[in-house]
Structure 1
Amino acid sequence: MKHFPNLFSSASLGKVILKNRLIFGPHATSLGCDGKVTEELIAYHEARARGGAGLIILEGATIHETYAYPEQFIYLGSDKCIPGIKKLTDRCHQYDCRVIGQLFHAGRAVRISLDGSQSVAWAPSEIPDERYRIVPKEMPREMIYEIIEAYSEAALRLQKAGCDGVEVLAGMGYLVAQFMNPSTNQRKDEFGGSFENRLRFLSEILIKTRAKVGGEFVIGIRVSGDELDGLGLDANDMLKICKTIDDKQLVDYFNVIASSSATPFGWIRVFPPMEIKPLYAAPFAKEIRKNVSRPVILGGRINQPQEAEKIISEGVADFCAMVRPFIADPEFAIKAESGNSEHIRACVACNQACVGHRLAHFPVSCIQYPESGREQIYGELELVKKAQKVMVVGGGPAGMKAAIVAANRGHSVEIFEKSAQLGGQVLLAQQLPGREEFGGVATNLAHELQATTAITHLNQEVTAQTITEFAADVVIIATGSVARKADLDLDEKTDIVYAHDIIENNKKTANSVVVADWRCDWVGLGVAEKLAQQGCHVRLVVNGFVAGEQIQSIVRDAWIAKLHRLGVEITSFARLFGSVENSVFFQHISSHEPLVFEDVGTLVIAHGYYSNSSLMDSLKTFNGHLVSIGDCVQPRSVEEAVLEG
């Protein structure tokens, strides 16, 4: 029986035949260096090629000095890029995986240059960028033609480097889209005004590129089926653009997403968190596919092979582009094709180590699979020559990952968890509104653990005596963390509830609630949302510059938007100081001035966690090989727990 027969059928993009319809989509990785491909970037893409992807579309590479930052991007403005890309394409081609390079210019969406200073942002017109709050400089005609030439020269370099095609990023509110959009293009020359003139920049790029690379080389464009920000190109605009490009026979395919970098609202959909429903861009791709003659690729929150199969079989799109699912599991395609889709390490759209790392200019990775982006460091697990008896104490993410790795290397492993279920803090996080998907972290790790030879013991408290009697060669302590109590001058007449009791035990509160959030992470945001959904009037007071300061910015911004819709009031820069009956006192952390909130029905305290180090402390005289990992070392996040495991 063939699994997912439509998804794993071959199909053509232009003159290139792909072995299946699964594409590892374009995304910035921060794995380049000095504008060139590195061994780390090659190993990263090779892992996905080996894992069964039919096509890899490389990250957007910059093509002109007017947008040549940051250094982790690939720069196609000179021939220096060719050897590295050639090495990458050769490595991917050995797995029958095709490679297409993407060309990128951000236009007005530029913040810094290579030395960290504010560089000049060039755009079709001097229309401010809302997200970066930049007023760009209008491009002179000579520069426009120079950049068009740079696009075509960059495509030629990709061809020389062994790529099978080139994709022009024409969506997401970046330079090409800025030319197409009448709200950002108010030029009076041949590149502005009429629809045909606004499309001229893209058309000239495609015409010039085809003349350079010939008819065999694949040319495609990535477009936003709708920019979804109310300010940019909507579905009707994009349908007209795609039909015109198709009628002119300028491309071999359309790669459709739905987002814009121009506004915070549109930016959330560039890297959609779990609040954004899967397949959110499917309606736009379907409509474009009905009206063009070239193949259509759909991207955006396609998480499972079942979803991808349905997209192909129902004619929504011809191919499916996935990014984060392949980051979470490089073997996504092989597992699906071989009938092992239940073993796929499904992405939970947390954005923490993939998008979060990239936006902080660190290499892309995954909280569930820290090997991603670190292929050169971890590589393939080596079997040990002599197995050891390993005891893991704690069944949270750190403990499970440690047990998985140790067992897969050939050790004899037993893991002990004091509760009835593996998962640790993840089991709390998944109980918050809209965060159910995050529970997949625990589910995926538990599935991986079950597939090993490790033995799991639930409902078993471990003491120093237990460890001594077990006589393991190696003991790994992963006992996590416990909620931190507030050591403050709080009146016993004040109704005080701790956040973890609301999450775990549905502890009831009064209708008027102040949430004191010291950590500025998912706990304060989630509890505030949960109480607001129950009809409470909620004020979230955070000990930082913004609520959710500790979590990935796109996830944070989407969450704050939900709180705004629910009427939650947010006060920043305030630490909890004390209370008297129904009055709660805070102190502004910058001015040290008092902030007083009256008539507070319930004070909810979210003051973070302490390391649960009691077991480790009791083992000070233990003579065996002892290691501690995760939150019991220091309370952090799932990412660090799994990485240390």
Structure 2
Amino acid sequence: MLTRLFTPLPIGPATIRNRIVSTGHDTVMAEDGKVTDRLVAYHRARAQGGVGLIVLQVGGVHDSARYTSHALMADTDACVEGYRRLADTAHEHGATLFAQLFHGGAEVMDTADGALGVSYSASTVPTERFRVFPRAMPRAMVREVIDGFAAAARRLRRAGLDGVEIVASHGYLPAQFLNPATNLRTDEYGGSWPNRLRFLREALTATREATGGELAVGVRISLGETHEGGLGEDDALRAVTELDGAGLLDYVSVTHGTSATLGGSDHIVPPMTMDPLCTTSLSRRVKEAVSVPVIVAGRINQPQDAELVLERGDADAVGMTRALICDPEMPAYARRGDLDGIRACIACNQACIGHFHTGHPISCIQRPETGREQLYGILTPARRPRDVLVAGAGPAGLKAAVVASRRGHRVTVYDAGRRPGGQVLLAERLPGRAEFGGAVTNLLEEARRSSVRIKSGVTVDAELVREQAPDAVVLATGARPYRPPRLVTDGATVRDAWEVIGGGELPKGRVLVADWRGDWVGVGVANLLAERGHKVVLATTGYQAGETLQQYTRDESLRRLMRHKVEVVPLVRLYGADDDTAYLQHVLTEEPVLVEGVTSVVLALGHEPVVQLADELAELAEGERPDVHLIGDCLAPRTVEEAVLEGMRIGHAL
């Protein structure tokens, strides 16, 4: 029983109905600094799903806090109406609403017109990740920004929110003042510990005065920034302990890492290679030191894990942000004890933080309805139920089947393999990717609950379609490994990546992995072979290995490559191979590049669509030909994200 998880929690003047929290995260749904209908719809889904507390994404408190072109701003009265809409929406469905107050300091990612912006920090100390050289913030501007926190809080009080949270986490401006490595000031805001704490103390004091005790006031902080020169655990703990002792805090939100470095930023949204509950030992330190409630975030994706966190006393409430992105109804399922009904997050980071990094509204590869609530948030019953045959039980076919069946269609899925799942069954066998298999596990449970019939070990052909006579056929027949027709392999041992992942053996010795796409296949196979004891060369057409992967996922793959001493050769294409040499060509100069001493070559050169069935159905007589729809890799080989998205779309369209 999840008794603790569904116990109300007082936080200052507010009370949240349960201990599940959607922590602050940028949705890329603000426009011109303001709340949009899309953002309201996004948070409505989570409030309806039963979350206890929603903490909105960062709201800039000063014009210099515009860290991206899509930042939400709280620095003028123009923000009040939008925030009020969010507050009304959350309250309508029983959720409590806080908002983050933010200044990123040195961190500026992009501006609206594409030019590089000017950033301000405690001191002129460059940042590694975004290669920013900030200006030292003048004393007058420091005062402006502190006043900006208070003014923004005052606006949010008018908008009807329940609380505000000053963001001192992840190496942002308050942390830059706290950290002696980034605060080299000689005025009253630098030098000694009391001076370095002064900025955050004054910001909190001004914010509390502005809210008049009507709003909860908290702080989010990283307990350790995970790199030399980052704000350390002890200093972060000392800060919240002293601020709590001064009566300035109603709660503390604990996280980990920093946005200032590549390695530190990987902890902001931990990928599946990091342990679940990876920050709870840190939150326990805070909980033992302060008198106010503690919220913890960091790869807590299952309600039973959240209950464990509460039971052990690691925190008082649990941030489950990606779990709610993946399934906004997770709290409702958990409350009634139906844990199998929850679509569990697999921490792939592809469409949530991955979309943010490319400047697109966030979503989820398992639940593409997320971020598209206005288009696909409501399933409309089919006007005329139809018999639908789905060929292929990979992610595309399964998603199409689930959505179509829930709309009232009669759906049967056929798959040639013994197990449904498509390429996910390969991806889960790679180092650090086991959790990815959950994408299929979740879809299969949804299919079972939606009365979808699945028949494995059956290859669909035109004759089967003629016999079954469905009203519509959805082709999700996937793709097969691509082998260039002009590839010269004179006496070489050449295998496709799929064969190797499936357990295929290679001769002992040095292996060259030829990687065209720069996705999980190339780096995954290289790491897999290295773990099997091979010396590995990864030759990629891109600038670096894993180039198309989301940064945090790519970073972990690159760490593994480095530890396994895999040699990476960038900007080359495979031309051919013989019994001891791989022949490559530089993609820019077209000069030859030879890798000698190679005993075998593994091809990760992308995939070609399997379209034989589509061609066969096109030849059927007009009266025998059903409506045919191609989705996923058989339409164009891409990723799981596009496959599930197209499955959803066709399920709505049928």
1:633 aligns with 2:635: yes
Output aligned runs, 1:115-514, within 5 Å.
115-514=113-512
Shift of 1:491: 3.3
Output aligned runs, 1:546-557, within 5 Å.
546-557=544-555
Using the alignment, how far apart are the partners of 1:437 and 1:497 within structure 2?
A: 26
Secondary structure of 2:113's aligned partner: coil
Using the alignment, how far apart are the partners of 2:214 and 2:377 within structure 1?
A: 36
Using the alignment, how far apart are the partners of 1:136 and 1:116 within structure 2?
A: 18
Match of 1:637, as an amino acid? T
1:105 aligns with 2:80: no
Shift of 1:7: 0.5
Using the alignment, how far apart are the partners of 1:57 and 1:71 within structure 2?
A: 21
Secondary structure of 1:89's aligned partner: helix
CA contact (8 A) 2:68 2:108 kept: no
Using the alignment, how far apart are the partners of 1:610 and 1:67 within structure 2?
A: 46
Shift of 1:541: 0.6
CA contact (8 A) 2:353 2:362 kept: yes
Shift of 1:66: 1.0
Using the alignment, how far apart are the partners of 1:203 and 1:15 within structure 2?
A: 21
Moved over 4 A (4+): none
Using the alignment, how far apart are the partners of 1:100 and 1:55 within structure 2?
A: 7
Match of 2:634, as an amino acid? C
Match of 1:7 in 2: 5
Using the alignment, how far apart are the partners of 1:111 and 1:326 within structure 2?
A: 26
Using the alignment, how far apart are the partners of 1:448 and 1:507 within structure 2?
A: 36
CA contact (8 A) 2:391 2:475 kept: yes
Using the alignment, how far apart are the partners of 1:601 and 1:167 within structure 2?
A: 58
Match of 2:651 in 1: none
Using the alignment, how far apart are the partners of 1:375 and 1:491 within structure 2?
A: 50
Q: C-alpha deviations, 1:322-363, integer Å up to 9, x for none?
A: 111000000010000111111110111111111111111111
CA contact (8 A) 1:254 1:294 kept: yes
Q: C-alpha deviations, 1:551-587, integer Å up to 9, x for none?
A: 2122112211121111111111000011232111111
Match of 2:650 in 1: none
Using the alignment, how far apart are the partners of 2:229 and 2:267 within structure 1?
A: 14
Secondary structure of 2:598's aligned partner: coil
Using the alignment, how far apart are the partners of 2:393 and 2:240 within structure 1?
A: 51
Match of 1:632, as an amino acid? C
Shift of 1:115: 1.5
Identify which range, 7-16 or 235-244, moves more after superposition.
235-244
Secondary structure of 1:368's aligned partner: coil
Match of 1:355, as an amino acid? I
Equivalences, count: 643
Shift of 1:230: 2.6
CA contact (8 A) 2:66 2:108 kept: no
Q: C-alpha deviations, 1:358-385, integer Å up to 9, x for none?
A: 1111111000000000001112101123
CA contact (8 A) 1:486 1:605 kept: no
Shift of 1:487: 2.5
Shift of 1:119: 1.0
Identify which range, 224-233 or 539-548, moves more after superposition.
224-233
Secondary structure of 1:199's aligned partner: helix
Alignment partner of 1:620 out of 618, 621, 641: 618
Using the alignment, how far apart are the partners of 1:492 and 1:464 within structure 2?
A: 39
Using the alignment, how far apart are the partners of 1:574 and 1:431 within structure 2?
A: 27
CA contact (8 A) 1:274 1:350 kept: yes
Secondary structure of 1:31's aligned partner: coil
Shift of 1:490: 2.6
Match of 1:229, as an amino acid? H
Alignment partner of 2:40 out of 19, 39, 42: 42
Match of 1:35, as an amino acid? G
Shift of 1:68: 1.8
TM-score by length of 2: 0.97
CA contact (8 A) 1:69 1:114 kept: no
Using the alignment, how far apart are the partners of 1:497 and 1:71 within structure 2?
A: 46
Using the alignment, how far apart are the partners of 1:573 and 1:332 within structure 2?
A: 44
Using the alignment, how far apart are the partners of 1:143 and 1:514 within structure 2?
A: 56
Match of 2:592 in 1: 594
Using the alignment, how far apart are the partners of 1:513 and 1:415 within structure 2?
A: 39
1:581 aligns with 2:567: no
Shift of 1:216: 2.6
Q: C-alpha deviations, 1:38-92, integer Å up to 9, x for none?
A: 1110010010000000110000111111122434221111111111111111011
Using the alignment, how far apart are the partners of 1:632 and 1:644 within structure 2?
A: 11
Alignment partner of 1:92 out of 77, 90, 93: 90
Alignment partner of 1:643 out of 628, 642, 645: 645
Secondary structure of 2:304's aligned partner: helix
1:610 aligns with 2:612: no
Q: C-alpha deviations, 1:132-155, integer Å up to 9, x for none?
A: 122111111000000100111111
Using the alignment, how far apart are the partners of 1:629 and 1:241 within structure 2?
A: 53
Shift of 1:476: 0.7
Match of 1:317, as an amino acid? A
Secondary structure of 1:431's aligned partner: coil
Identify which range, 628-637 or 585-594, moves more after superposition.
585-594
Unaligned runs of 5+ in 1: none
Using the alignment, how far apart are the partners of 1:489 and 1:248 within structure 2?
A: 71
Using the alignment, how far apart are the partners of 1:216 and 1:34 within structure 2?
A: 29
Shift of 1:621: 2.5
Using the alignment, how far apart are the partners of 1:113 and 1:551 within structure 2?
A: 24
Match of 2:255, as an amino acid? I
Secondary structure of 1:188's aligned partner: coil
Using the alignment, how far apart are the partners of 1:396 and 1:202 within structure 2?
A: 51
Shift of 1:489: 4.2
Alignment partner of 1:75 out of 64, 67, 73: 73
Secondary structure of 2:628's aligned partner: strand
CA contact (8 A) 1:30 1:363 kept: yes
CA contact (8 A) 2:67 2:104 kept: no
Match of 1:641, as an amino acid? A
Q: C-alpha deviations, 1:271-299, integer Å up to 9, x for none?
A: 11111111111111001100111110000
Secondary structure of 1:642's aligned partner: helix
Secondary structure of 1:298's aligned partner: strand
CA contact (8 A) 1:54 1:98 kept: yes
Shift of 1:246: 1.0
Using the alignment, how far apart are the partners of 2:319 and 2:487 within structure 1?
A: 55
Identify which range, 546-555 or 351-360, moves more after superposition.
546-555
Identify which range, 224-233 or 517-526, moves more after superposition.
224-233
Shift of 1:162: 1.0
Using the alignment, how far apart are the partners of 1:441 and 1:47 within structure 2?
A: 21
TM-score by length of 1: 0.98
Using the alignment, how far apart are the partners of 1:507 and 1:425 within structure 2?
A: 20
Unaligned runs of 5+ in 2: 648-654
Using the alignment, how far apart are the partners of 2:226 and 2:319 within structure 1?
A: 20
CA contact (8 A) 1:9 1:19 kept: yes
Secondary structure of 1:382's aligned partner: coil
CA contact (8 A) 1:497 1:507 kept: no
Using the alignment, how far apart are the partners of 1:133 and 1:88 within structure 2?
A: 35
Secondary structure of 2:480's aligned partner: strand
CA contact (8 A) 1:496 1:604 kept: yes
Using the alignment, how far apart are the partners of 1:525 and 1:290 within structure 2?
A: 42
